Amino acid sequence: MAKITFKIWILIAAVLLSLISIFSIPPMFLETGVLVNSVEQNSTIFNDGLRVGMTIISINENPIETMQDYSFALASFAALELNQTQKLTIKTKESEFINLYSPRIISDISVEEIPTTRIKTGLDLRGGARAFIKADVPLNDAELDDLIAVSEQRLNVYGLSDVKFFKVKTSDNDNLMGVEIAGSSPDDLEELIAKQGKFEAKIGNDTVFIGGDKDITHVGRTGSDALITECFAVQGGEACNFRFTIFLSEEAAQRHADITDELMINGSYLSKKLDFFIDEQLTSSLNIGSDLKGSIATQISISGSGSGVTRNEAIEAAKLEMKKLQTILITGSLPYKLEIVKIDKISPNLSDQFSKQILMAGLFAILAVSIVVFIRYRKIKVSIALIAVSLSEVLIILGVASLIKWNLDLPSIAGIIAAIGTGIDSQLIILDEARDHHESVTQRIKKALFIIATAFATTFVAMIPLTGLLGFMGIGAASAGLLKGFAVTTLIGITTGVLISRPAFADIAKQMEA
């Protein structure tokens, strides 16, 4: 009877955790309703509290299980005149909304089917938003490269994934910047891209410091350097304040000292405040303590707030506002004022049917290899073990991708296929070494694992530049992008393989040849 060793238990545990990561608990495919993926800001339903991510389960007491149910429930609003209203009761898993709504409600809300898994797909499989952006002055190729570099840095700091920038040349020979974000709505993309993000801290009319690494040496983003300080009730809901710390350069600190040295003392504070401006709009102000008069202050505390219908929503809004402000402070302002020439929603290039065909092709490939292995080794157990371990590697890759919220696009799928191929090669090496009876089975397995580890090291080093992780050193920056998904999923596959599935398969092979 086969013994389940510690390494095999690790593989089983990794597969179970991956299944939980992919399907969640309780499983997402058992949920009914439709998922809200967009709500027009400042619309009546938005002000009532409906938010992206909520699940609608009934409308006017009619159960909503599919997109067809949702369309049928709102059909009566399409026949209304623009000045007419009708009572509507929308029930979600979180709350219930009752109000008089106009025909505009149909365009104010966008919904989609509840996904069956937590796997996120890329632009070519899921769709998203695309914008073409023009600077306020004509740009040459080098200047457009600079604009794209700053924009990429801003969105990378913000934490977005699957963002693609590209150059566009119009018929008038103007250079435009194109940007695509998977799973994003045009409104979301406009919010992220349209603003120049010019941050200025002023005392009166004098600028103390601006965003970017020239004046700011460090922006606190974790622990006590960045936190939500308090929440309180306001009219219409809740509000929460945030605070984070920044450190100024010596030049900026000296400017602070020179400017404050000219101010008068009024009680515990100086006569003027430190005002924060974003794109020339005043966002907040801080009193300056009298003890800071003429002082070279290298540490400044930045504060702000966010609001929402509920406390949790207010906390999330405050975190979002803090993240936006931190991003602007880290990256500085864009070098040009931008105008969105065109922005629209783009449909996925590939349908769900294509995804199913890819899955079937992958399973067929594993099955075909297993048949060849059976013909070669004449043992059904060997083929079954190879199929089981190969499928486990796929599940682990998808589980890790779900956990880190990596968007799977076509290059990522190609990376999974490459990882499977590498895994099968490694398993065949283990099988061949295990059948060589010139040494003990333990020594033969160690030799096989050494070969696999060496191959892993060379592949790992080759893939790192393609991920763009070394872009700050100028290594792989040009190659990253289209090949990034391929590199990331390949790295996930070969790393989990060499640490988890290969040792487990080695124990299986050892038992079959013992």
For 60-140, where are the alpha helices, taking DSSP H only? 67-73, 75-78, 105-108, 123-126
d(CA 465, CA 490): 13
229-to-220, 317, 390 alpha-carbon distances in Å: 15, 14, 49
Q: Are residues 441 and 472 in the same domain?
A: yes
Range of lowest pLDDT (7-16, 18-27, 203-212, 282-291):
282-291
Does 10 have pLDDT greater than 90?
A: yes
Stretch (H or E) spanning 165? strand 163-169
pLDDT at 511: 81
What CATH number does residue 148 fall under? 3.30.70.3400
Q: Are residues 169 and 233 in the same domain?
A: no
d(CA 105, CA 39): 10
| Band of pLDDT at residue 194, cut at 50, 70 and 90 | low
Neighbouring C-beta atoms of residue 314, cutoff 10 Å: 24
Q: Are residues 362 and 477 in the same domain?
A: yes
All residues at 6 or more sequence positions from 366 whose CB lies less than 8 Å from its CB, including other chains: 387, 390, 391, 420, 424
Report which listed range, 15-29, 118-132, 281-295, 428-442, is most confident. Answer: 15-29
**Residue 280 in contact with residue 198, Cβ under 8 Å?**
yes
Between 460 and 470, the more confident residue is 460
| Number of compact structural domains in the chain | 4
> What's phi and psi for 330, nearest 5 deg?
-75, -45
Range of lowest pLDDT (5-14, 69-78, 495-504):
69-78
Mean pLDDT, the chain, integer: 82
Does 11 have pLDDT greater than 70?
A: yes
Q: What is the DSSP string of 461-473?
A: HHHGGGGTTTGGG
Q: Which of 270, 303, 333 is the last residue of a domain?
A: 333
Between 409 and 341, the more confident residue is 341
Q: Are residues 505 and 359 in the same domain?
A: yes
What CATH number does residue 377 fall under? 1.20.1640.10
Q: Are residues 327 and 370 in the same domain?
A: no
Q: Are residues 285 and 369 in the same domain?
A: no
Does 473 have pLDDT greater than 50?
A: no
**Residue 21 in contact with residue 402, Cβ under 8 Å?**
yes
454-to-105, 228, 457, 492, 494 alpha-carbon distances in Å: 60, 48, 5, 17, 12
Question: Is residue 327 situated within a structural domain?
Answer: yes
> What's phi and psi for 139, nearest 5 deg?
-115, 140
Question: Is residue 405 situated within a structural domain?
Answer: yes
490-495-500-506 Cα dihedral, nearest 10 degrees = 80
| Band of pLDDT at residue 185, cut at 50, 70 and 90 | low
Predicted confidence (pLDDT) per residue in 42-79, tens digit:
788 887 888 878 899 999 888 998 888 998 888 877 77
Q: Which residue is associated with the tokens 């009166």?
A: 204
Question: Is residue 166 situated within a structural domain?
Answer: yes
Q: Which of 69, 84, 113 is the last residue of a domain?
A: 113
Does 471 have pLDDT greater than 70?
A: no
Question: Is residue 428 situated within a structural domain?
Answer: yes
Question: Is residue 122 situated within a structural domain?
Answer: no
Q: Assign residue 104 a region: left if phi > 0, alpha if psi is -120 to 50, beta otherwise?
A: alpha
Predicted confidence (pLDDT) per residue in 353-397, tens digit:
666 777 677 777 777 877 887 887 777 888 888 888 988 998 999
Does 248 have pLDDT greater than 70?
A: yes
pLDDT at 199: 82
Question: Is residue 346 situated within a structural domain?
Answer: no
pLDDT at 19: 93
Question: Is residue 343 situated within a structural domain?
Answer: no
Q: Are residues 235 and 313 in the same domain?
A: yes
Between 160 and 113, the more confident residue is 113
Burial pattern 340-366, b for ≥16 Cβ within 10 A else e, equals eeebeebebebeeeeeeebeeebeeeb
Q: Are residues 245 and 324 in the same domain?
A: yes
Does 478 have pLDDT greater than 70?
A: no
Stretch (H or E) spanning 278? strand 274-278
pLDDT at 232: 92
pLDDT at 212: 82
Between 234 and 188, the more confident residue is 234
d(CA 33, CA 12): 33
Q: Which of 333, 366, 386 is the last residue of a domain?
A: 333
> What does the longest C-alpha to C-alpha distance in the chain come to?
92
What CATH number does residue 93 fall under? 2.30.42.10
Between 176 and 474, the more confident residue is 176
Q: Collapsing DSSP states into helix, strand and coil, what is residue 133?
A: strand
Q: Are residues 10 and 56 in the same domain?
A: no
76-to-100, 172, 303 alpha-carbon distances in Å: 13, 47, 47
**Residue 234 in contact with residue 260, Cβ under 8 Å?**
no
pLDDT at 455: 86
Between 209 and 199, the more confident residue is 209
Percent of the chain with pLDDT over 70: 89
For 94-233, where are the alpha helices, taking DSSP H only? 105-108, 123-126, 141-158, 186-193
Q: Which residue is associated with the tokens 């709505």?
A: 185
pLDDT at 309: 80
| Band of pLDDT at residue 146, cut at 50, 70 and 90 | confident
Predicted confidence (pLDDT) per residue in 92-132, tens digit:
987 888 888 877 787 788 888 888 888 887 777 777 788 88
Q: Are residues 42 and 169 in the same domain?
A: no
| Band of pLDDT at residue 479, cut at 50, 70 and 90 | very low
Please state the rounded mean pLDDT for residues 483-506: 88
| Band of pLDDT at residue 158, cut at 50, 70 and 90 | low
Question: Is residue 340 situated within a structural domain?
Answer: no
Q: Are residues 145 and 180 in the same domain?
A: yes
pLDDT at 477: 44
All residues at 6 or more sequence positions from 419 whose CB lies less than 8 Å from its CB, including other chains: 393, 397, 489, 490, 492, 493, 494, 497
496-497-503-504 Cα dihedral, nearest 10 degrees = 90
Please state the rounded mean pLDDT for residues 238-265: 91
Q: Collapsing DSSP states into helix, strand and coil, what is residue 329?
A: helix
Report which listed range, 116-125, 222-231, 470-479, is most confident. Answer: 222-231
Predicted confidence (pLDDT) per residue in 286-336, tens digit:
888 888 889 888 888 888 888 888 888 889 888 888 887 887 788 777 777
pLDDT at 147: 82
Query: What are the structure tokens assigned to 36, written together?
Result: 């809200």
Give the residue numbers spanning the domain of 47. Answer: 32-113
Between 28 and 366, the more confident residue is 28
Neighbouring C-beta atoms of residue 213, cutoff 10 Å: 13
pLDDT at 474: 45
Q: Are residues 209 and 103 in the same domain?
A: no
> What's phi and psi for 246, nearest 5 deg?
-125, 155
